[in-house]
Amino acid sequence: MITQAAVAHRSGGPFVVEDVMLDDPRPGEVLVRVQASAICQTDLHGRDAYYAIKPPAVYGHEGVGVVERTGSGVTRVREGDRVVMFAPSCGTCVNCTSRRAAYCISHWPLKSTGTRADGSPTLWQHGRALGGAFFQQSSLARHALATERNVVKVGEDVPAHVLAALPCGVNTGAGAALNVLGVRAGMSVAVVGVGAVGLASLMIAAEAGCAPIVAVDIRDNRLALACELGATHAVNAAREDFAAAIMSATGGRGVDGLVDTSGIAETVPRGVEALAMPGTYVLVGSARPGTLAQFDMVLLQSGRAVRGCIQGDGEPVELIPALAQRYRGGRFPVDRLVTTYPFGDVERAAQDLASGATIKPVVLMD
């Protein structure tokens, strides 16, 4: 079918809305009419050739829309269902079968090769294949192909721009607090980098009654929002030593949990030093392969832990609806992070994300 998509023709180049040819759904696939799709740094990293998928390509991995058609064998959803599209998984590896689909052994090939799992393309333009199937969706388009495994049915009572914010960054940040840190009343928490991912962690920590909650960033506007959403302390790391500020906020003890969304190697040793005994440092920020961080191993001998987290360390088919339910109940105001853009302004949305002017840009297709 002919549809429109935001095509990036070169690394670092603009997203341009153009006509493309999208394949029909094959067995196990669903065709989704996209209502909204968020943009996050992962889309910009894809466009900028961090991954196997290279321009010309269509990105987008946080789509929400309505199922228009299904391939054979699909039973989880049907035509007319409203769905959120999230990160794909194979369903057969040891991690998938033990309910750790976030750590699917095949997750990188499924997310970033630009094709289906079998190597076939999903998108064409002017007679040549485009990079598509980004996170098995390429949702910066009016229509997207997903797999049955990477969609979840959602209700009509949450706006599309809110649902589109959930599948990657917000899912990851909220899950890091819930599933890795296990936030609870009285627990001390720091969040380094209060963009969409970090603010999601912070909101979950605030809901749980954590205190103190220390927000760290280099942008005062984000720190101000963090305080509105529950932070008890705000630290501008461009002006002060954030680790020293965390120690001060906790009376010299350090924090029980720290979520680092920055992806900056230099923050790791200082963040580990700001942990209490025992404390957990959760790394969710992405970095290029080969990025190295060093810290004193003696710190770990006191019970401190350093670990990574993908997709919130949970099952997206469960975590995404749970976050939507929190939003419905007024306990997770993720809409405070979102700025919406019409589809024709997708490049402006990407630029605003890159500059920090927008925390969570969401492109509306309708």
Residues 6+ apart with CB under 8 A from 286: 41, 42, 45, 263
Question: What is the rounded average pLDDT of the residues 48-59?
Answer: 92
Residue of 362, 363, 364 lying closest to 169 (CA atoms): 362
**CB 269, CB 296: distance < 8 Å:** yes
Residue 288 has pLDDT above 90, yes or no: no
CA–CA gap between residue 357 and residue 154 (Å, rounded) = 30
Q: How far apart are the first and last CA of the chain?
A: 18
**Nearest 10 degrees: Cα torsion 294, 191, 261, 8:** -160
C-alpha span between 243 and 237 (Å, rounded)? 9
Q: Which of 62, 16, 7, 25 is nearest to 40 (CA)?
A: 62
CB 115 within 8 A of CB 133: yes
What per-residue confidence (pLDDT) applies to 262? 92
**What integer best gives the mean pLDDT of the chain?**
95
Residue range 231-252: average pLDDT? 97
For residue 265, give Cα distances in angstroms to 246, 268, 278, 286, 359. Answer: 18, 6, 22, 10, 22
Check residue 75 and give its pLDDT.
96
Cβ neighbours of residue 170 under 8 Å, at least 6 residues apart? 196, 197, 200, 323, 334, 337, 360
For residue 321, pLDDT over 90 is answered with: yes
Shortest CA distance to 258 belongs to which of 215, 203, 311, 316? 215
What's the whole-model pTM score?
0.94
Contact 79, 58 (CB under 8 A): no
Mean pLDDT of 178-195: 97
Taking alpha carbons only, the member of 10, 30, 35 closest to residue 136 is 30
User: What six digits make up the tokens of 194?
Assistant: 């209060």
pLDDT band at 265 (very low <50, low <70, confident <90, very high): confident
Task: Please give the Cα distance from 261 to 193 (Å, whole number).
Answer: 5
What ranges in the chain are assigned the alpha helix state H?
41-47, 94-97, 107-112, 160-163, 171-175, 196-208, 220-228, 242-249, 267-273, 316-328, 346-355
Show Cβ contacts of residue 365 under 8 Å, excluding neighbours closer than 6 positions: 34, 35, 36, 37, 65, 141, 142, 343
CB of 8 within 8 A of CB of 57? yes
Write out pLDDT tens, residues 131-171: 999 999 999 999 999 999 999 999 999 999 999 999 999 99
The amino acid present at 238, given as its one-letter code, is A
pLDDT at 291 over 90: no
CA-to-CA distance for 5 and 234, rounded, in angstroms? 40
In one-letter notation, the amino acid at residue 281 is Y
Residue 101 has pLDDT above 80, yes or no: yes
**What is the model's pLDDT at position 353?**
96
Spatial separation of the C-alpha atoms in residues 290 and 329, rounded to whole Å: 42
φ and ψ at residue 342, rounded to 5 degrees: -70, 155
Asked if residue 125 lies in contact with residue 4, where contact means CB atoms within 8 angstroms, the answer is no
For the segment 339-358, what is each residue's pLDDT rounded down to a tens digit? 999 999 999 999 999 999 99
Task: State the pLDDT at residue 13.
Answer: 92
Q: How confident is the model at residue 289 (pLDDT cuts 50, 70, 90)?
A: confident
pLDDT at 186 over 90: yes
* Position 57 pLDDT exceeds 90: yes
* Contact status, residue 199 vs residue 176, Cβ threshold 8 Å: no
Tell me how far apart the alpha carbons of residues 301 and 315 are, in angstroms, rounded to a whole number. 31
